[in-house]
Structure 1
Amino acid sequence: MRIERQPGFPAPGRPGLFWLGQAGFWIETGRHRILVDPYLSDSLARKYAGKANDHRRMMSPPIAVEALPRPDLVLVTHAHTDHMDPDTLRPLAERFPDLPFVVPAARMDVARERIGESAHLIGVDAGETFDPLEGITITMFPAAHETLERDAERRFVFLGYGIRAGGFRLYHSGDTIPFDGLAEAVRAFRPDIALLPVNGRDAVRLAAGIPGNLTLPEAVALAGAAGAAFLVPHHFGLFAFNTADEAAIDAAVRVAAVPQILKPVAGETLALIG
């Protein structure tokens, strides 16, 4: 497989990835279209207006919510608003009442509140695998957004998703830091592409209630340990208080061989060839 950069939104039927900002991606498998963690509104800027971390966007949404075509499936990794955004997901559910939304079962109550009581919600947990569409298999992984948090029923609060579609396998970690067993579990899935956060973590952000993620070196190490040919970093460039050094990403792109690092660009498709 090789990956080429092409302008604009992925054409239907042509496999590719389109970055929506933060952890959001539109994934065209060639047969189906999968939407992951879209944050296309300013709901957090309104919520935190006038506060220290005001959540003003550093980049505009590459596509408006109302301009999104119908995906075949929506995956939500956890209930933080930049991943489970009511101002993005509820309008989708209203436009497409039969659209399935896959959400952590541990946060089903929040999902119903934000996406809609009548929305088609599918609750899942780490360790499960299911086939939501013909030719698509989804595997759920645990994620540790600082901790491996579980609810009272021992279901994981934070998830990652492995997507097997046609001739490729893609792993979206959700928000996570490294933890014992993660690399081994992902390696067993054998992803071709790893979509991993790179904004890191520190005591200052954690004290302000901002849980952390992989650093760029940790993301490179995880993708390499998992055997992924490509690493697509994300979770940078949206909020000034919780981003990554893009110069460091650019430098890593220039020197990395395996995995090859492909820095996503808003408004551009990473087309999967072969």
Structure 2
Amino acid sequence: MAVLKQVPFEGPLSKRLAQARPQGVSLFWLGQAGFIIDVKGRRIVVDPYLSDSLAFKYRDSSHSHARMACAPVTVEELGPVDLVLCTHHHTDHMDGETLQRLAMRLPHLKFVVPAASGPLALQRLGVAADRLIEVDAGESMHLPAFRLQVMRAAHESVEQDEQGRHRFLGYGLDFGTLRIFHSGDTIPFEGQDDEIMAFAPDLALLPVNGRSEALKSAGFAGNLTLAEATSLCKRCGIAVMIAHHYGMFAFNTIEPEVIDDAAQTSGALVRAREGIEFRLDAA
């Protein structure tokens, strides 16, 4: 059993990141699916999108990708980073502009990426192949400070490349007494519950922006709805979830008030927010 505490702080995130972390695990939201996870003196960053590169990419699109809010921190202000995890190849999860700057600033930093997206990751990051840790669903490996369990995700569908490697992944981070599950972008799929329950996470980081046929027709894959995310946690016995993947692009989000209303009737639901340090401790 684990306890999640929300600790508000004033001032910029960069100042908070420079402070020493207490015992347990601390998480900070970077927007969209991005999180900083501090544990045992190490810093893990998941799916950081700290640029506005998609606004440029889709500048002529009817679906504006301008950020609804500025990035809470710059690449330089992230401080020391020990590992970066990318769940899949979409730019708001594997952003070349953000990751290249991180790679240049921290020449020994390594990046965990789906093996199915290895060549694309090399192109976007501009790094040597030995700086990538390529993984696929079903694999488990020990990394500094934690064990990584790689799981499937279905960003509208469970997709595999010609070699059978999965394009969309979820990550289980096992810190010994505490376990965190980041689903990546996903919708419900057959076998999902079994994979998650086998990992037995204390905390789930789940997208809640949902999906629609209109967006799918326009080429934008969807995610869990808020109801689906909370139901997934209940079925899998996950004590608490942080709802994220909202508030980045106006055409593909959910109102924060909707999440807050649901949280009032569910002690297991917490909304990802800036200005909050989420502390996860073993009970």
Bin the TM-score by the shorter chain: over 0.9
Does structure 1 residue 249 correspond to structure 2 residue 259?
yes
Query: CA separation in 2, counterparts of 1:247 and 1:13?
Result: 30
Matched, 1:124 2:132: no
Q: Deviations over 1:138-165 (max 9, x none)?
A: 0000100001000000000000000001
Work out whether residues 197 and 235 of structure 1, in 8 Å CA contact, stay in contact via their aligned partners in 2: yes
Asked whether the 8 Å contact 1:13–1:32 carries over to 2, the reply is no
Shift of 1:199: 0.5
Distance apart, 1:51 and its partner CA: 2.0
Moved more, 188-197 or 25-34: 25-34
CA distance in 2 between partners of 1:27 and 1:74 (Å): 10
Alignment of structure 1 residues 1-274 onto 2, 5 Å: 1-6=2-7, 7=9, 8=13, 9-10=16-17, 11-14=19-22, 15-118=25-128, 120-133=131-144, 135-257=145-267, 260-274=268-282
Distance in 1 (alpha carbons) for counterparts of 2:110 and 2:175: 17
Identical positions, percent: 47
Query: Structure 2: which amino acid aligns with 1:126?
Result: A
What code does the residue aligned with 1:145 have?
A: H
CA contact (8 A) 1:144 1:176 kept: yes
Pairwise CA RMSD:
1.3
Structure 2, unmatched stretches of 5+, are none
Q: How far off is 1:262 after superposition?
A: 1.2
Unmatched tracts of structure 1, length 5 or more: none
Query: Which aligned segments of 4 or more residues in structure 1 are displaced greater than 6 angstroms?
Result: none
2: distance between equivalents of 1:89 and 1:37? Answer: 10
Q: CA deviation at 1:4?
A: 2.1
For residues 212 and 84 of structure 2, the distance between their equivalents in structure 1, rounded to whole angstroms, comes to 31
Contact preservation (8 Å) 2:26, 2:280: yes
- Measured in 2, the distance between the counterparts of 1:193 and 1:273 equals 11
Q: 1:137 to 1:146 in 2, by over 3 A?
A: same
**Deviation for aligned residue 1:245:** 2.6
Rounded to whole Å, the distance in 2 between the matches of 1:188 and 1:194 is: 14
How much does 1:71 deviate?
Answer: 1.4
Q: Is the Cα contact below 8 Å between 2:178 and 2:281 reproduced in 1? A: no
Cα drift, residue 252 of structure 1? 0.8
**Is the Cα contact below 8 Å between 1:78 and 1:107 reproduced in 2?**
yes
Give the TM-score taking structure 1 as reference length. Answer: 0.95
Q: Give the aligned residue type for 2:275.
A: G
Structure 2: how far apart are the matches of 1:117 and 1:4? 38
Distance apart, 1:50 and its partner CA: 3.4
Q: TM-score, normalised by structure 2?
A: 0.92
Whether the 8 Å CA contact 2:87–2:169 is kept in 1: the answer is: yes
CA contact (8 A) 1:142 1:148 kept: yes
Using the alignment, how far apart are the partners of 2:262 and 2:44 within structure 1?
28
User: In structure 1, the residue corresponding to 2:147 is in which secondary structure?
Assistant: strand
SS of aligned partner of 1:242:
coil
Deviation of 1:116 after TM superposition, in Å, equals 1.6
| Counterpart-to-counterpart distance in 1, 2:134 and 2:237 | 29
Q: Is the 8 A contact 1:125 1:159 kept in 2?
A: yes
